[in-house]
Amino acid sequence: MLRRLTALVLLCLPTSAAAVDSVTGASPRVFPAGKGDVIVWVTGRGFADGLSVGISGNGVVQRAAPVVVPEAMRVDGGRGDGIRWSVTIGPEALVGLRDLTVTGADATMATGAGLLEITPALAVMPPTQPPTQPPSQPPTQPGSNPPLPEPEGPIGVDVITRASPTYAAQGEQVNLWIVGRTFVDGVTVSFSGAGMGPALVNGQPLLPKISRNIPSEQAKFDGIEYYLRVGAETPVGPVDITVVGPDGTRATGVGLFEVVAPGAVPPPAAGAGNVDVISGASPRAFRAGRNVSLWLWGKGFEPGATVVFSQPGIRPYAPAEVVKDAGNYPGFDGIRSFLVVDPLAARGPLDVTVINPNASQAIAPGVVQVIGADDAIPDENDVVDDFGPCLAAETTIEEITFVQPMQVKPGTPLPLAIVGRGFACGATVIIAGGGLRAPQGSAPRIVRDGVDPQKTTLYWDLEVTADAAVGSRDVTVVNPNNSSKTLAQAFSIVLEITESYAGDGGVDERVKQDDGVHACSTSGASSRGVLPLLLGLGLLLGTRSRGTRSLGRRR
């Protein structure tokens, strides 16, 4: 484990005061030593002008004053306040995790532990072998120039397939999602309409964000999240969108966007307004007799859509709210439903249907369930409640932080939450010791935090058999790239429960992690299904990428 550095270099600015409450995330999260000038997006609560940002360790130097972006001014729809922090990462930057500390003008402060990581500098390796072919050109005379090799053809931006939303009114700002192929950092975006450009915060343009191999396009295309400002003087009508790569390659989407007059909408295109798919839901369980706010994400949700359930015990108490291109789900739409769950509603899975105003509909069978009033469900303050598509399969697992509940009795359900960092799509869970079984249809479900995507939780509904041997159980998570972490004595099967949850979300310092797999081999593990129970060795299943709420406490 890396030793945490405590030395802080604080860079202060005097202005107005505010109480700094928390520091929750940083993006990008990983930089190599010697990276040079970068901009880090820091998120949290209680940020205001006059604050300072400090980082543990040496080699990272601020090059410009932090720019505070209050939550109300974020055009990306994200939660919390933000800081655009310009720094230089020198070649001498110490490798390891870094803590970020934000100090307000009133001296209130908060620290986010390990939010940044400095990795070794990218080495330039010399040739390992001499050339095996004779030179293709004879030696040149002094003063002559040897012929230059033919450059390889550019591999860059080659197509733009769509933009969402498809229109905006004069004078509006919108969060525009542009889909195409081979988008990389450094692309520029332009529009054929006069007066169109990036949205500004404190006079500074918001930079576009690139997402590679986006799940909403079956990982075949990339996306650009562009914060667009449409001028009041911009002419109404179709607009072409052009993306130019840093290598000079370009593509233009003709008429993919449209500018309309304030209050107007463009005429619908043929087939427009059809709902496509429901991709996930949060929370996954409703307690009977309670109100619940259900968040669905998918594609093709339109304003005015309604949400219908497969039994009458679930009814809305307010109209559903549709969010096109939700900020924490690039490429996906969202819909929020405000529901009353009848105390007598039948327990068990529910089918959810979204119906658009044009009567098109999509169904997600069994995506949520009703549970009894006395069944164990997460406390509202303990859940990871923002998540999107799971991390890529090549992600290296960082840690298992803790497991909840900490104790469970034989013959009872075990709603297990494994909380950690870096759980990827297709991760495998191994629990050593036997005495557990998965009900039919139960498999681990992976969720991630909307602010810090590396913060992930695996939620798994299990049952402890009546004859399960008492004692502690080790839990191992193995990512598809074979990186793994084990939390020894993660939870215990006991005859009498003395503690159920990790009080403050902490972990007993006596419990250490290692890279071993203590139960059984992951060979042939499916990332989408359930493998047979291996009695006496452990329980092995592959994860699904569909989200759910977890029992994990906020860290």
* Per-residue pLDDT reduced to its tens digit, 430-487: 887 778 887 766 667 777 765 567 788 888 888 888 888 888 888 888 887 778 888 8
296 is a domain residue = yes
pLDDT given for residue 200 in this prediction: 84
Question: Which H/E stretch holds residue 538?
Answer: strand 538-542
| 91: number of Cβ within 10 Å | 11
Q: Which candidate, 327, 250, 271, 421, places its Cα nearest to that of 82?
A: 327
Question: Could you tell me the pTM of the whole model?
Answer: 0.32
129 is a domain residue = no
CB 543 within 8 A of CB 550: no
- Output the 3-class SS for 117-159: EEECCCCCCCCCCCCCCCCCCCCCCCCCCCCCCCCCCCCCCCE
What is the C-alpha to C-alpha distance for residues 73 and 503, in angstroms, rounded to an integer?
36
Residues 43 and 115 in one domain: yes
Angle at the Cα of 159 from the Cα atoms of 154 and 162, rounded to 5 degrees: 155
Residues 406 and 535 in one domain: yes
Among 100, 119, 138, the domain boundary falls at 119
What is the C-alpha to C-alpha distance for residues 446 and 550, in angstroms, rounded to an integer?
9
CATH code of the domain in which 53 resides: 2.60.40.10
State both tokens at 528. 């989408």
What is the C-alpha to C-alpha distance for residues 420 and 240, in angstroms, rounded to an integer?
44
Residues 297 and 323 in one domain: yes
141 is a domain residue = no
Considering only residues 515 and 438, tell me which one the structure prediction assigns the higher pLDDT: 438
Among 260, 290, 325, the domain boundary falls at 260
Residues 367 and 454 in one domain: no
The residue range of the domain holding 232 is 159-260
188 is a domain residue = yes
State both tokens at 54. 């400090």
Confidence of residue 242 (pLDDT cuts 50, 70, 90): very high
CB 283 within 8 A of CB 294: yes
From 65-74, 161-170, 514-523, the region with the lowest mean pLDDT: 514-523
What is the C-alpha to C-alpha distance for residues 246 and 438, in angstroms, rounded to an integer?
51
Residues 80 and 206 in one domain: no
DSSP helix/strand/coil, 494? coil
pLDDT given for residue 483 in this prediction: 81
192-229: pLDDT as tens digits: 989 999 988 888 888 888 888 876 666 778 889 898 99
How many percent of the chain have pLDDT more than 70? Answer: 71
Confidence of residue 241 (pLDDT cuts 50, 70, 90): very high
Q: How many helices (H) and strands (E) does the chain have?
A: 0, 40
Residues 16 and 76 in one domain: yes
Residues 248 and 193 in one domain: yes
State both tokens at 297. 């994400």
Among 119, 139, 171, the domain boundary falls at 119
Whether residue 47 has pLDDT greater than 60: yes
Q: What is the mean pLDDT of the segment spanning 285-299? A: 82
553 is a domain residue = no
Q: What's the whole-number average pLDDT of the chain?
A: 73
555 is a domain residue = no
Q: What is the mean pLDDT of the segment spanning 511-520? A: 28
Residues 90 and 198 in one domain: no
Residues 419 and 512 in one domain: yes
How many domains is the chain partitioned into structurally? 4
133 is a domain residue = no
What is the C-alpha to C-alpha distance for residues 415 and 459, in angstroms, rounded to an integer?
7
360 is a domain residue = yes
List the end-to-end C-alpha distance of the chain, in Å, as a whole number. 18
Q: Which candidate, 429, 420, 425, places its Cα nearest to that of 398?
A: 420
Strand partners, 260: 169
